[in-house]
Amino acid sequence: MNTPHPSLTDALAQADLLYARHELEPVIAAMGARIDAALGGERAVFLTVMNGALIFAGQLALAIRTDLEFDYVHATRYRGETTGSELHWLRAPAVPLADRVVLLVDDILDEGHTLKEVREDCYKRGAKKVLIASLCTKRHDRLVDGIASDFNGVELPDRFVFGYGMDYYEQGRNLPAIYALKDGNGE
Ligand SMILES: O=P(O)(O)OC[C@H]1O[C@H](OP(=O)(O)OP(=O)(O)O)[C@H](O)[C@@H]1O
Ligand code: HPA
Q: Cβ distance 176 to 163 under 8 Å?
A: yes
- Cβ of 107 less than 6 Å from ligand 1: yes
The yes-or-no verdict on residue 1 having pLDDT over 90 is no
pLDDT attached to residue 79 = 79
Assigned domain for 1 exists: no
Ramachandran bin of 170, using left for φ above 0, alpha for ψ from -120 to 50, beta for the remaining angles: left
pLDDT attached to residue 2 = 59
Assigned domain for 3 exists: no
Assigned domain for 125 exists: yes
- Cβ of 76 less than 6 Å from ligand 1: yes
Which is higher by pLDDT, 169 or 78?
169
From the list 34, 47, 26, 24, the residue with the least C-alpha distance to 164 is 24
Q: Reduced to 3 states, what is the DSSP secondary structure of residue 105?
A: strand
The CATH code of the domain that includes 97 is: 3.40.50.2020
* Residue 33 amino acid letter: A
pLDDT attached to residue 181 = 97
Assigned domain for 53 exists: yes
Domain range spanning residue 39? 8-181
The yes-or-no verdict on residue 187 having pLDDT over 70 is no
**pLDDT band for position 184 (cuts 50, 70, 90):** low
Question: Distance between CA 21 and CA 64 in Å, rounded?
Answer: 19
pLDDT attached to residue 80 = 76
Assigned domain for 165 exists: yes
Taking only the tens place, the pLDDT of each residue in 123-172 is 999 999 999 999 999 999 999 999 999 999 999 999 999 999 999 999 99
Known catalytic residues? 110
- Give how many domains the chain has, as a whole number: 1
pLDDT attached to residue 177 = 98
Q: Reduced to 3 states, what is the DSSP secondary structure of residue 106?
A: strand
Q: Cβ distance 23 to 85 under 8 Å?
A: no
Question: Distance between CA 52 and CA 108 in Å, rounded?
Answer: 8
Ligand found nearest the CA of 88: 1
Nearest-atom number in ligand 2 for the CA of 78 is 7
Assigned domain for 111 exists: yes
Beta strands in the chain (DSSP E): 15-20, 44-50, 68-76, 88-91, 101-109, 129-138, 151-156, 161-162, 177-181
What's the rounded mean pLDDT across residues 101-127? Answer: 97
Nearest-atom number in ligand 1 for the CA of 166 is 18
Q: Cβ distance 151 to 34 under 8 Å?
A: yes
Assigned domain for 187 exists: no
What's the rounded mean pLDDT across residues 101-129? Answer: 97
Assigned domain for 166 exists: yes
How far does the centroid of ligand 1 lie from the alpha carbon of residue 78, in Å? 6
Which is higher by pLDDT, 98 or 5?
98
Taking only the tens place, the pLDDT of each residue in 14-70 is 999 999 999 999 999 999 999 999 999 999 999 999 999 999 999 999 999 999 999
3-state secondary structure 5-53: CCCHHHHHHCEEEEEEHHHHHHHHHHHHHHHHHHHCCCCEEEEEEECCC
Pocket of ligand 2, beta carbon within 6 A: 78, 108, 110, 160-162, 166-167
